[in-house]
Amino acid sequence: MLRGASVATVTPFPKASGVGLLANTLGTRALGAFPREISAAYLCRPTAAEEAISAIADTTQQLVQSGLPTLQNALNPDLVGLLNAAPWPQIHDLATIARVPIVMYHDVLPEKEVLFDVTAEELVEHFEQIKTAGLTPISLEQLVNHLRTGAPLPPKPVVLSFDDGYEGHYTTVYPLLKEYQYPAVFSIFPGKPDGEVAGRSTVTWDQIQEMAADPLVTIASHSVTHPNDLRTLDDEALRQEIFASKVRLEEMLGIPIRYFTYPAGYYDDRVAALVEEAGYEAALTMSNDAEWFAGESDNLLAIGRFGQSRLTALLPQAWEGLGVPLRAPNTFDFGSAVRLARQVEVDDMRLTLVSGGRPATIHADSRYQVPEILARSNAIAGVDGGFFSLRYLDSNVMIGPVLSQATQIFVPGNASENPKLAGRPLVLIGPTGVDFVEFNPSLHNTLAGFQAEMPNVTDGFVGSAWLVKDGHARTPDTFEGVFDFDVPRHRAFWGINTAGQPVLGISKDRVDSVELGEALQKIGLREAVMLDSGASTSLAYEGELLVEYVPRPVPHLVVVLPPDQAEGTCPLVFQDEPFVRADLDMPDRVQLQ
């Protein structure tokens, strides 16, 4: 069955002629406009030299993909700053998108004595809820690395934290962590196991040492004596609580203590400054007035937590965000799984994104809804592509030159229109990479001109404008000549993220181009180009239209193929037989004007 063609009303469309899909029922309207169309089929038949170059590029890419994430996981924290980390203690932009809850527990005992205690049975129930909901408990080290670098996290991450070093942490919590293989962080104030501070119960140093030797366990300092409010202490007493606790824990456990937990969550600039001076890499807090996800924290010295009573409400909210693997600059990853993020919120802007896979384009024989065009191909997702002529309702004539694997035909742009496109982004796609270059009408209106920029080019078109270029969002002055760039509209875009992966997307809200570029920079796009937008804005994934209105039909898409469909020079398959049109299920959609 065709991908996305799962419905019932059938309308046949004529078969394309032998010269390619451009020669359809459009007569001379389409073909006559561009008398210099030429076949580009030979581009999909690489020479032996090109195959060797492609193999080398693929091998290099595989080494990058396999090696750098391993390197990232093994790095000493002192080296993290070399890997595009945000300046300490700032939180990386990518990490602000994720929703990682840190769930805070205190005592675990047979019968609760205060409101925030839990019983062993309740803790088991919590762990079962986490398991059933598909959450992935991660270590505090994983979280802090993510907050600093934007590194990827496993699906639906959560951090478990246990404060104050109660006996139940060893007798109940630790065995359950080993049973479920869940990591956790324990905040210990050494005055308690040293016998200087009385409490309901306490872990012993022998127990803490046993736990600290387990990779599942992270030990954080919780001051020496757990004062009610560190802010009320004089400088000398405050320094003692922050510095001496680290020294004592390291002395007794023989490991570096890298994290601090503010007793009762209270801190101010003076307290945080001493935490920094003591050499802690991050600090956990809490608040009785507000709770927030880790990425929403002010900085690494004020990472927020949720009380354990909020767990059930947090389960459906946990999300790993858009963290991308570490990649060498200017490399590409066309082998990653395709991921759909239905709604990503950046500065109150809602985006829908598809990332991963291998990019290509489709230049169809006429105009259709995006899912209809995808249904003729082996692509898994697509977004409306370049600008097209509005003169005829069924025309596939594009503005600017276009090359697509779907037709294997190069179509020059109209000589009278091309000068107006000077400086716009020319998008060139090849088997192992993508180039975004400034369109030059005198150089780039021939296939040879495309090949001069990228010898193994398979797809190309002219986009509307750069939204992000060389990792930087574009400023208003760079949109000179771009119609309505500063007017809020639904917008479509595509680009490459810092992992070298293709990203297709749309805004779910009406936004201007500058704001959109700023948001895309924050979520890790190193290059992003605006596509045909407004009423044409449309994105589909696995046959599903992902907009809430009926978009204008379009003739051109940027698509991604899943890895199992991405082998070879031109892996895109676009069917030539009569098209079976699937009526779109859009009962609540409205026509965009």
Length of the chain: 593
pLDDT for 588? 40
Mapped onto helix, strand or coil, the DSSP state of residue 468 is strand
- The beta strands (E) that lie in 305-408 are given as 306-307, 339-346, 349-355, 358-368, 381-384, 402-404
Start and end residues for every CATH 3.20.20.370 domain found in the chain? 98-314
Q: How many CB atoms neighbour CB 245 within 10 A?
A: 24
Q: 3-state secondary structure string, 237-249?
A: HHHHHHHHHHHHH
Peptide bond into 263 cis (omega under 30): no
What is the spatial distance between Cα 498 and Cα 519, in angstroms, rounded to a whole number? 14
pLDDT digits (tens, 9 = 90+) for 495-533: 999 999 999 999 999 999 999 999 999 999 999 999 999
Closest CA to 451 of 406, 500, 495, 401: 401
Under DSSP, the state recorded for 562 is: -
pLDDT digits (tens, 9 = 90+) for 231-276: 999 999 999 999 999 999 999 999 999 999 999 999 999 999 999 9
Counting as low any pLDDT under 50, the low residues of the chain are: 1-35, 48-50, 52-53, 56, 60-61, 63-82, 578-593
Q: Percentages helix, strand, coil for the chain, rounded to the nearest 5? A: 30, 25, 45
pTM of the predicted model as reported, rounded to 2 decimal places: 0.79
pLDDT for 476? 96
pLDDT for 31? 36
Please, what is the angle between helix 245-253 and helix 205-212, to 10°? Answer: 70
User: Which residues have a Cβ under 8 Å from the Cβ of 415 and sit 6 or more positions away?
Assistant: 445
What is the spatial distance between Cα 533 and Cα 506, in angstroms, rounded to a whole number? 9
Tell me which CATH code domain 98-314 carries: 3.20.20.370
Under DSSP, the state recorded for 388 is: B
pLDDT for 314? 97
Closest CA to 553 of 369, 398, 426, 412: 369
pLDDT for 437? 98
Q: In 75-204, which ranges are continuous DSSP H helix? A: 120-132, 140-149, 167-168, 174-180
Region of 134 please: left (phi>0), alpha (psi -120 to 50) or beta.
left
Closest CA to 280 of 243, 325, 314, 334: 243
